[in-house]
A and B are shown apart, each in its own frame.
Chain A
Amino acid sequence: MRNQYDFLPNENKREATKLLPWVMAIMVYLSALAGTGSLILHSGFDDWASSLQGRVTVQLTGENREEMSDQSSRIQETLRATPGVDSVRPLTEDEIRLLLEPWLGADNITDDLPIPIMIDVETSDNIYVNLDALESKIRQISDNVYLDDHARWLDDFLRLAYAVESTGLGILILILLASVCIIIFGTKSSMSEDKGTIEIMHLMGAHDLLIAKAYQNRFMKYGLRGGIIGLILSFITVYGLLILVQNLSGGFVETPTLPYLKMSLLLLFPLIFAALTMITARITVMRELARMV
């Protein structure tokens, strides 16, 4: 008969697995932090990428400011007349100085510095704008005009985003693999501690499955308990860090926003770890018992 019977000693008296829930708590804690980090970065990358899509920057250089101003007006007229262009806005000198400050330093931007004219162009989502044709068109006004659709920079940026996300996923997989190894070790140690009990159970007619079920249920509880503790600690850590960033940034740095819907997936972590410990313990016990008569 394939029944269930918890014949194992009280868990408080077990040396081999006493610390297992805490190890699981640490594993879930690290997993949840890796997961949260990935989700925040993913969400941030998405926001930045979508803010850049549909934007084009036109840059006009030259030495004669009057000539450049005239060319800028004609370029703006051409841009506004182009179907699919929603808005055209030249950046003010102050805005351009702000953009240059991180590179040149505030005191080094002098009046004789040949600052380019920059025009921010917003294109429509619905109408396709042939940017190559548009660039050729405005090149007829000036040879010193460049059109930047950020595509190259965006490609690099997306590659970085992908690399960061893949690293996050890799860390999660490594943590899961390490957890499996720890569970196997814990199960074997536990079985070694219970060697006499298992022998007696066998000699009295216990099936392997009955013995395995006792272990899998015990280990599932360890995984679940540790998982809940680890998740709570990770949430406390994340919120603590967010509060710290908010206090430090003082408005200078944008505080990362938490993607709550996606983060609700983290609530599954304790269940995933409980299932992982349960399945790993069961397989380990069944394999160990198969070696006995």
Chain B
Amino acid sequence: MEFRNVSMSYERDYDVLKDISFNLPSGSMHFLTGPSGAGKTSLLKLMYLAHRPTRGEIMMFGRDVAKAEREDLPKLRRRIGVVFQDFRLLDHMTAVENVALPLRIAGGSGAHINEHVEELLVWVGLKDKMKSYPSTLSGGEKQRVAIARAVIRRPDILLADEPTGNVDPEMAERLMYLFVELNKLGTTTVIASHDNGLVEKFGSARLHLVGGKLLHLEGTGKNRN
């Protein structure tokens, strides 16, 4: 994933992201850090193709996705898993149905899907919550359903926006180990977080945003630019 001089604005005269450039090698793991309002969520939106940049190029999957035709976007999005800060689970679906959603969208059906989904839910520790609706799940349980949904199709890129923001420290650490495991399987992972303790503990490289500008920092916290 490579960003080349990317800027983005929601309103005409104000850039929330300013001339961002970086290159994330395939299979790498990065934290995306910065104070509130620095543009972390906006940068993630560009990564998961929910928004188009105002300027610049975004190279993913061997093409500039910033200029991709609208009809090509679904195919590209299926290669990206996203864990949203507010989970964004569908309230009218059970945990199993929520996790199966990406497979159903891709045209899958039948018992094979359920088997696969149930296996993953067992892996994230939700064996007894498979038929539960999101409204009956705790914050940590919802987060794990959201993570299972993001990884069910073994995406090439996994993006997580404050995935530990709604859970206790113990659960936060467990979830982080889950991301590390997924990264070891070859998934390029970007985790937005403002939890410096967690970032220090896991010591991955980090992308640090301040006021919409990017400072590329290593896990030690030293500015490389």
Chain B positions 93-120 with a Cβ under 8 Å from a chain A Cβ: 93, 101-102, 104-107, 109
Interface 9-mer from B11-19, B29-37, B73-81, B166-174: B73-81
Q: CB of B3 within 8 A of chain A? A: no
Bound together, the chains give a CA A9 to CA B48 distance in angstroms of 25
Q: Mark A1-36, 1 if CB is under 8 A from B, else 0.
A: 101010101100100000000000000000000000
Number of B residues with CB within 8 Å of any CB on chain A = 26
Q: How far is the CA of A1 from the CA of B107 in the complex (A)?
A: 6
Q: B194 at the A/B interface (Cβ < 8 Å)?
A: no
Known: A9-B92, A10-B92, A13-B92. A204 touches B105 (CB 8 A): yes
Find chain B residues with CB under 8 A from A207 CB.
71, 74
* Among listed B49-57, B178-186, B215-223, interface-contacting one: B49-57
Q: Are B50 and A204 in contact (CB under 8 A)?
A: no
B137 within 8 A of A: no
The interface residues of chain A lying within 8 Å CB-to-CB of B201 are none
B112 to chain A, nearest CB (A): 15
Is the C-beta of B82 less than 8 angstroms from some C-beta in chain A?
Answer: yes
A 256-292 to B, binary, CB cutoff 8 A, 1 in contact else 0:
0000000000000000000000000000000000100
Which residues of A have CB within 8 Å of B122?
none
Q: How many residues of A contact B (CB 8 A)?
A: 21
Given contacts A203-B77, A204-B77, A204-B78, contact A293 B105 (CB under 8 A): no
Shortest distance from the beta carbon of B147 to any chain A beta carbon, whole Å: 14
B141 nearest CB across to chain A (Å): 18
Residue of B nearest to A290 (CB): B70
**1/0 per position for B2-14, CB-CB distance to A under 8 A?**
0000000000000
- A3-B107, A5-B104 known; 15 other A-B pairs, CB under 8 Å? A1-B106, A7-B101, A9-B91, A9-B92, A10-B92, A196-B90, A200-B88, A202-B77, A203-B48, A203-B77, A204-B101, A205-B106, A206-B74, A210-B105, A290-B70
Q: Which positions in B face A, CB cutoff 8 Å?
A: 48-52, 70-71, 73-78, 82, 88, 90-93, 101-102, 104-107, 109
